[in-house]
Structure 1
Amino acid sequence: MTKYYTLLLALLVLSCAKNDQPTVTTLHQNWEFKSAKDTIWNSATVPGNVYSDLLAHDKIPDPFVGSNELNVQWVPTHDWEYKTTFTLDEKTLKTSNIELTFEGLDTYADIYLNDSLLGKTNNAFRTWTFDIKPFAKKDNAMYIRFFKTSIHEEKEAGKLDYVLPPGPRVFTRKAQFQYGWDWGPIVNTSGIWKPIKITSWNDVKLDDVFFKQESLTDSLASISVEYTITANKDEENASFEVKNKEFTHTVEFPVYKGTHTYATRIRIQNPKRWWTFNLGEPHLYTFETTLKQGNDTKGQQNVKVGLRTIELIRDKDSLGETFFFKLNGVPVFMKGANYIPQHSMQNKVTDAHYEKLLNDTKNANMNMLRVWGGGIYENDIFYELCDEKGILVWQDFMFACAMYPGDKAFLENVQQEAIDQVKRLRKHASLALWCGNNENNEAWHRWGWQTDKTEAQKKQIWDDYIKVFNRILPETVAKYNPSIDYWESSPSYGRGNPKFQFEGDAHDWGVWHDALPFERFEEKVPRFMSEFGFQSFPSYEAIRAFTGEDSISINHDSYITHQKHPRGFNLIREYMARDYPVPTSGDDYVYMSQLTQAKGMTMGMEAERRAMPYCMGSLYWQLNDCWPVVSWSSIDFMGNWKALHYKAKKSFEDVLISSIVENDTINTYIVSDKLQALEGDFTLTFLDFNGKSILSKKQKLTIPANTSQLVVKTALPDINEKPENYVMKAVFDYASSSSSSSVSVSTSSSLFYVSRPKDLKLPEENISTKVNNTNKGFSIEVSAKTLQKDVFLYTKAKGHFSDNFFDVLPNQTVTITFTTNAENIDDLAFKTLNNIKNNSALAY
């Protein structure tokens, strides 16, 4: 009977408990917009921006097509107005608190609710929250006026007796690339670019939960769970619960009026660590957190936590100073690229775009992306996917290639921006580094920006730099995210300073900007290469998209805007002529430009990997595009892999065979990122282009963990054949020498040519393809009796080839899959270097 009454009492208590969590609704409906100069309102999309809204109503031509970019430059010369109406129900109106939160307004805006000015905004990277309880009623009208950025920029510039390089954008806290870059259009957006939310709540609200890792060993993880609460008054009987599938932890505490952060500690026995995908499992713990007041639930948040240590190691040595990352105490070579915004109109980027691009990153064996400082602090989903996929993030603050002001208002604005973003992103296991800016330090000291300044002006500009990048930003990181290192500016030194090769991270643009040969990458290897690049044309699909023509041209009028580098075309051709035949037809030229880019860039990647542990990072410029354009990207705007991405995938394999000719000797290395030693058989075979073996070597090898090893030297005279007539095939069949009882055998291989591609005596084209249907598309068998160099498969059907720009050895069949929803690929075609090189109509 006692048990019966106890159960009855428990049920009675539960029946009295209520869910009193905040109610959150988005305010994305019924929006309209117009120019402040117009009288007619048109429907608007929120989140969005004025360009996408104008485009939806055919009020501007597509700025990505032809030279239309030039015809839409009037847009940022107008002020823009947005308005909506919305209804609040009686329950919401009766709550004690009603807040309106703008996660992103671009940029200078006045916000009115029911004809009352709520506030003004001046930073696209900040979150703006307003108490609307005094203004809210059942039927509400909201109006936002966005002011053209030039008003503020001209006003602030007028206060100075000098010009801050490079120009007006430095005064406005928004995505800097919107003002134009050497790969991006001038699309200076305005509008509501992130979600708007109305949050209603009563006495207590759970604002944020942060799992702060205090210590981590193989046997124990200690975590301080910090939870931030806002309350209208003091409350005595609050509790906070942390729960996962292994335990439940509850703490009771008093809540104090106002906004305060409280903490409790949890411990995890024998914790599983988070690793990059190539070294282990990117394990994430899922915790349910609940705030209660008495029996009433006041807030709940589910949090995913990755346990790991990440350190930037900068130690003086005999050559300079190291620059590498230790993940869980292990030095890790960082393989990856620089990431820019995926679209000039951010609202066009969907979750599917993020998923695809980060899958493409992982599938190319990249373990790090650098979020470049001229773009945006990315949406939450970007970092969540990096957490899940095991990809580290180097995070720049959003300052790039400029000197910024240092007045009180600007500094306060930057301070709050940094707090907002650090607190938002610190929870992610993928976060590896906070970096103050992109190239600002380098630009000031070596780009000639000081030449027209007085000594007093130079001192003022540099003092303002120090305020932002040596005080505000590092102090914010130290306060809110102390477990992550801060790096003032990338690079430490540019190519103009000899130290770039020996200290810190490097941006080496000797290739491209200085037109130095690709061999530069092999001769000047830095400690960590955080930028290097070379341009190519995008896919045929992207070219058709912006030219509006089916044929592939490299001289179309649209290139006036779709090649942003003033010497771009000349440099592509100059480098192409050094290594490849120069075609006359447009489609062949596009193909050859991609091969040229891939050749040079992979020379750099492999030189940097061969140099480990001296060099411990290779992040090329750039991963992706924000519009269809001739650029440095390895994936074009349409999502197509260029030759660079396919070949980077091979150059970034965890076990890489890489060769280089030095002093008439082929030096062959095996580079291993594996955390266990490798043992196996290594074979070198020199073949002529008909498949005849010229020379063969075989040996047993043991490759220590996480090393680069020179494993064999082959003197060129010993090969007894002219270099233009053979290819070297290297194969390493290996097993891990760990204590595990299950051993799997793996194979790494590579092909190496001594001669430049244009000098190879390639046989006439002799290739066949066979296409078969599969559940997800098609399989394509490619075979040849003689060597076929850089086979490129293409079709107008949208999809993805599992490999491309690959070589086919004599009497070999290579099977490629094409993943697509298309019902057929009747237009499947291919190009090979053999065919183009042997075409007598080409201009050499």
Structure 2
Amino acid sequence: MRPQLMVLAALCCGSTLGITQPLDGEWRLNNPGRAIHLPARVPGGVYSDLQSGGLLNDTLYRFNDEEYRWVAYENWTYTTTFNVSQNMLQKRHLVIVFHGVDTVADILLNDQMLGSTDNMFVRYQFPVKNLLRASGNVLKVELASPTVSAAARYREQARRYVVPPPCVDEAYHGECHVNFLRKMQASFAWDWGPAFPSVGVWRSVELLSYDGANLRDVTVRYTEVNKNISMDFDYLLETGTGEGQIEGKLVASLVYNDTTVFTSERNHTIKLNSNETEHHASHHLSFQDDIELWYPNGLGKQKMYNMSFQFISNNGTEKIQIHTRYGFVTHKLIEEPVDEKDVTKGTTFHIRTNGLDYFHKGVNWIPANILPERASDEKTLRSLLQAVRDAHMNIVRVWGGGLYESDLFYDLADEYGITVWQDFMFACSMYPVGAEFLASVRAEVSQQVRRLQSHPSVAVWAGNNENEGALRDNWYGTGSDFQLYKKDYVTLYVDTIMKSVQATDGTRDFVVSSPSNGWKTVKEGYVAENPGDVLYGDIHYYNYDINGWDSTRYSVPRFSSEYGFQSYPSLGSLQEVAEPSDLVFSSKFVSHRQHHPSGNDEIVQQVQRNMPFTLNESSVENFASLIFLSQINQAMSIKTETEHYRRSQSLLTAAGQGRTMGAMYWQLNDVWQAPSWSSIEFDGRWKMLHYYAKNFFAPVLLSPYVTSDGSFEVAAISDIDYNETVRLNFDIMVMTYDSFTPLYTEQAATRLVLNKPVISISKNMNNFLSTAGCGSEPTAKCFIYIRPAAFTDIIEEVPDNFLFLGRVPGARRSGLAVSEVAGPNRTASGEDRFSLLLTCDAPALWVWLEAARHLPPGRFSDNGFQLVVRRRRLTYTTAPGAVTTEQLRAALSVTSLGDQLAASSGHSHSLPADVYTV
């Protein structure tokens, strides 16, 4: 058996028994120039404090992102007063620790300068032994305007040469030069979010005291050969400067189900000197055991152990310890020739976990809130990551323009089996490479990698988002001196970030950029000639000029780590932040909320490619219908593209395309109520796309499609390793738009093979539709519906599927009604589940159920589906006690394509033929 390199989860910050004093809680926020003096919270931020203090209203209301921009152009001061016990004052070392300051600030204690900060991702520590007194200590954080600071740094750099881009696109309504600050890049605006250039003390502050050494964190390396386990721990110990030495012992222990797997200790001596305040200590141990591994969602269980580390002084006066939960796992990025006989066909690209190759089903993650201090809310994080798990996903990409997420985020990812593709926080820009900037980046990378290294969920590191492609393809004018900008690029991402990662964590692979060509990018000097080559690495793919419902328009990459289509959020979401007059297509509000250039026009064009919609720019009803149709288009387009990627797992064309092993659509969540690529709205309600994701990422899927040569095929896709003798039976039904009775039904059966889609049906489409009786215009009359037969104990539930063959005609109102609401019943997970009976008089397309927004968010068992039967039972699940049966019955509404088209046109019956001519 080959040795396996493994990592363990979530080591928290070091803590010393009885010597840490939190400085979180109530502070004061001051801006004398504007006569602002009010209570504040730490962790927190200026926008949040001004809103809590009544000086700002809802920051997301209408145009407040611009109305409140003045906040970012001001300087702000946070102040707190605290006392210190005699026990702490008698300690040899007292240190104030800031776990996150956003961003450019001077720190003062009792009117004495401690130091400065300029990186919100770095933990700053300041020795304060000689400045503290027993009572009345005054700690100040004087924060400079981020927008003014960024502009000043840009101008200073421009004296030598310009580091582009000079600003974000005008459509973003944003601010310039965020690439000169080590802060959340999206806080100056992005094409999916507003500009709220954040300011604040966004993570905890504490006073730390100790005599000898503080245990900050521990990284872990694991190898296993035939149950012989070797573990190596790297302890990071903090000391003050000085002479002499500190003697103690390091203790590590592992516990599973109250049984101690091992306890090991070793003596360690720290030799002090005048230049170093950090010291590393190694600890090696070996043992024999049947370790149970941690697996991603859908591949196995998430086994977690308890581990503790201690540093105990020899005189017994000080014991510093860390407790954590962790899981054993190995992740390896696999890049192997797809054809050993012809290396020009390229190489694979996917993550192998515990020796298993599997299709990566996932999504891209942006911060849960545009204000960093609000981005780690437990309820929000848990809801979002549960939605990832419940949609059968096994990976999220933490995108490089946001945040290194909170410890809670990674703890939940560990718990739910969600692997993490972790970008470093650099996105869509060139960056300066001055000595101070690079030193700050080294500290950032080292601290963040040490913090995250032990989580089993973290699977791969990536240096940046899209900067390789931006450089090579001259997005920002770098072609004027390509070699200069390439040198800077290599200096930052290779010489600084990659080397820092490799020095800190030898358990995972590092890719320089996303997307990249993997090893081929490295071979070509870290900037590939064609960064989007589908035969290598990963790709990002967006094309709004194609018909997103046509699978033949998509390429066949090794790994698609970004792709997407926009939709509007629900009307209810927009109503929360708009005036009634805002909710028409031609309004300033609708234009302002769309930050993607030409995005609103693109949405309309995409809708009209496949559905009979006529835009009325001044109609409220018409805009409401456009919102609904935009969510249909988004769900259908991402469904089509994702199923295409899943079907391509075992494909290998003559040109080398295929072997696709990953699909992560853009994006999971929203930071405000606006058009975006998200599948979940800002308040946590699922868009149609997320309901579709639950189906198109199902462990077993029957996927119908039309090939480029006009064949109709059905592929059976399985993420589960069934015995190949197991067969799945299903019906292929050719339906018309006005009858519950299929024109034609054919029974079929298929094998299920792990990671190898099986083409179970292949027919000439024209002949098939002719046999079915679809007439002279088959694509206007018919669509195909796939219904799995009764499930066995072996095969878990398989979703229905469908295929539209052309532009969908207008449909009649179908008499949809929720005719019965029963329950609730308490589920095993403690939620309330209601039973619903849905009835209709005629087939209904894209049936959409909603619960009124005054209720807490819940989820339906299915939504956005095609209703081809008169009665269908569904469930609605929500928090325990959140709603009564009567309240839910009164709050439910249901609509469909036919209802919306009739409403948008002012008709209550089917639309005129010329509206939906195919």
TM beyond 0.5? yes
CA distance in 2, matches of 1:615, 1:452: 32
Would you say the 8 A contact 1:231–1:255 is kept in 2? no
Question: Match for residue 261 of structure 2?
Answer: 247
Q: Which residue of 2 aligns with 1:298?
A: 319
Once residues 562 and 53 of structure 1 are traced to their aligned partners in structure 2, the CA distance between those partners, rounded to angstroms, is 25
CA RMSD of aligned residues (A): 2.6
Q: Secondary structure at the match of 1:572?
A: helix
Distance 1:744 1:321, change over 3 A: closer
CA contact (8 A) 1:794 1:829 kept: yes
TM-superposed deviation, 1:142: 0.9
Asked if the contact 1:680–1:732 (Cα under 8 Å) also holds between the matched residues in 2, the reply is: no
Q: Does residue 1:720 correspond to 2:772, yes or no?
A: yes
Instruction: After TM superposition, give the deviation of residue 113 of structure 1 in Å.
Output: 0.3
Query: What corresponds to 1:37 in structure 2?
Result: 33
Change in 2 beyond 3 A, CA 1:152/1:573: closer
* TM-score (norm: length of structure 2): 0.84
| 2:113 is equivalent to residue 117 of structure 1 | yes
Identify the match of residue 198 of structure 2 among 189, 204, 222. 189
Deviations for 1:429-468, whole angstroms, at most 9, x for unmatched residues? 0011110111111112214433673x4xx33222111101
What is the aligned counterpart of 1:464 among 461, 479, 488? 488
In the alignment, which residue of structure 2 is the partner of 1:165?
Answer: 164
Q: Distance in 2 between the 1:105 and 1:331 partners?
A: 41
- The residue identity in structure 2 corresponding to 1:561 is H
| Structure 2 SS opposite 1:668 | strand
SS at match of 1:707: coil
Q: Deviation per CA, 1:98-148, whole angstroms, max 9, x where unpaired?
A: 111001111111100011100011111100011111111112001111112
1:58 to 41, 54, 60: 54
1:408: Cα distance to partner?
1.2
Query: Structure 2: how far apart are the matches of 1:395 and 1:20?
Result: 30
Per-residue deviation at 1:785? 5.1
Residue 507 (1) aligns with residue 518 (2): no
The 2-side partners of 1:239 and 1:620 are apart by: 45
**Structure 1 position 499, deviation (Å):** 5.0
Partners in 1 of 2:845 and 2:665 — Cα distance?
A: 25
Residue matched to 1:627: 672
Equivalent position SS for 2:88: helix
Name the SS of the counterpart of 2:253 in structure 1. strand
Q: Aligned equivalents of 1:315 and 1:343: distance in 2? A: 39
Residues 688 and 863 of structure 2 are in contact (CA less than 8 Å); yes or no, is this contact kept in structure 1? yes
Note closer, same or farther for the CA distance 1:157–1:297 as it changes in structure 2 (3 Å cut).
same
Describe the superposition over 1:716-750 as per-residue Cα deviations: whole angstroms up to 9, x where unpaired: 32342224234322316666xxxxxxx64434242
Trace 1:73-84 onto structure 2 (pairs within 5 A). 73-84=69-80
Q: Partners in 2 of 1:757 and 1:814 — Cα distance?
A: 29
The answer as to whether partners of 1:666 and 1:714 remain within 8 angstroms in 2 is: yes
Q: Which amino acid aligns with 1:347?
A: E
Residue 22 of structure 1 contacts residue 202 of structure 1 at CA under 8 Å; is this kept in 2? no
Partner of 2:331: 310
Instruction: Work out whether 1:759 is the aligned partner of 2:796.
Output: no
Q: Is the 8 A contact 1:771 1:780 kept in 2?
A: yes
Structure 2 equivalent of residue 738 of structure 1: none
What TM-score results when the alignment is normalised by the length of structure 1?
Answer: 0.91
Give the Å deviation of 1:770.
1.6
Confirm or deny: 8 A CA contact 1:525 1:615 kept in the other structure.
yes
1:648: Cα distance to partner? 1.0
- 1:730 partnered with 2:779: no
Deviations 1:596-648 (A, max 9, x none): 11011111100000000411111111111112211110001111110111001
Once the two structures are TM-superposed, the CA of residue 835 in structure 1 deviates from its matched residue by: 2.9
Deviations 1:34-92 (A, max 9, x none): 22524542111111111111222232343310111111111111111111100111111
Which whole-Å CA distance do the structure 2 matches of 1:626 and 1:521 have between them? 33
- The 2-side partners of 1:175 and 1:671 are apart by 39
Inter-CA distance 673–762: structure 2 relative to 1 (3 Å threshold): farther
Shift of 1:396: 0.5
Query: C-alpha separation between the residues in 2 aligned to 1:143 and 1:655?
Result: 57
Letter in 2 for 1:667: E
Do the aligned partners of residues 521 and 293 (structure 1) sit closer, same or farther apart at CA in structure 2, a change above 3 Å counting?
Answer: farther
Aligned length, in residue pairs = 813
Q: Specify whether residues 829 and 172 from structure 1 end up closer, same or farther in structure 2 by C-alpha distance, changes over 3 A only.
A: same
CA distance in 2, matches of 1:166, 1:498: 20
Distance 1:706 1:686, change over 3 A: same
The alpha-carbon deviation at position 219 of structure 1 amounts to 3.0
The residue that corresponds to 2:603 in the other structure is: 572
Name the SS of the counterpart of 1:636 in structure 2: coil
Larger strand fraction of residues:
1
Structure 1 residue 405, shift from structure 2 partner: 0.9
**Who is 2:756 aligned against?**
707
| Alpha carbons of structure 1 residues 547 and 594: separation in structure 2 relative to 1, 3 Å | same
CA distance in structure 2 between the partners assigned to 1:115 and 1:49 by the alignment: 23
Per the alignment, do residues 361 and 45 of structure 1 end up closer, same or farther by CA in structure 2, a change over 3 Å counting? Answer: same
Alpha-carbon distance in structure 1 between the residues aligned to 2:531 and 2:138: 61
Partner of 1:112, secondary structure, is strand
Query: Residue 510 of structure 2: which of 486, 498, 521 is its match?
Result: 486
CA distance in structure 2 between the aligned counterparts of 1:517 and 1:237, rounded to whole angstroms: 64
Structure 1: distance between partners of 2:495 and 2:101? 27
Superposition deviation, residue 417 in structure 1: 0.9
**Contact 1:20 1:296 (8 Å CA) reproduced:** no
Aligned ranges 1:269-668 → 2 under 5 Å: 269-294=289-314, 295-296=316-317, 298-317=319-338, 318=342, 319-349=345-375, 350-450=377-477, 453=480, 455=481, 458-492=482-516, 497=530, 500-509=533-542, 511-512=543-544, 514=545, 517-519=548-550, 522-549=553-580, 553-582=584-613, 585=621, 586-613=623-650, 614-662=659-707, 663-668=709-714
- Secondary structure of 1:74's counterpart equals helix
Closer/same/farther in 2, CA of residues 646 and 574 from structure 1, 3 Å limit: same
2:839 corresponds to which of 783, 792, 795: 783
Q: Which moved more, 1:648-657 or 1:260-269?
A: 260-269
Distance in 1, matches of 2:119 and 2:246, equals 36
1:796-817 deviation per Cα after TM superposition (whole angstroms, max 9, x unaligned) = 2332122211222223422221
Does the aligned pair in 2 maintain the 1:799–1:819 contact within 8 Å?
yes
Kept after mapping to 1: 8 A contact 2:30/2:78: yes
Indicate which of 24, 30, 38 corresponds to 1:28: 24
Distance (Å, rounded) in 2 between the aligned partners of 1:600 and 1:497: 26
Q: Aligned residues: percent identity?
A: 27
Aligned CA distance change for structure 1 residues 617 and 416 (closer, same or farther; 3 Å): same
Q: Residue 685 in 1 paired to residue 732 in 2?
A: yes
Quickly say closer, same or farther: Cα 1:356–1:229, change in 2 above 3 A.
same
Shift of 1:471: 1.6
**1:255 offset after TM fit, Å?**
2.3
Query: Corresponding residue for 1:816?
Result: 875
Deviation at 1:236, TM superposition (A): 4.4
Corresponding residue number in structure 2 for 1:141 = 138
Q: Is the 8 A contact 1:685 1:696 kept in 2?
A: yes
Please identify, of 364-373 and 745-754, the stretch whose mean Cα deviation from structure 2 is larger.
745-754
**What is the SS of the residue equivalent to 1:192?**
coil
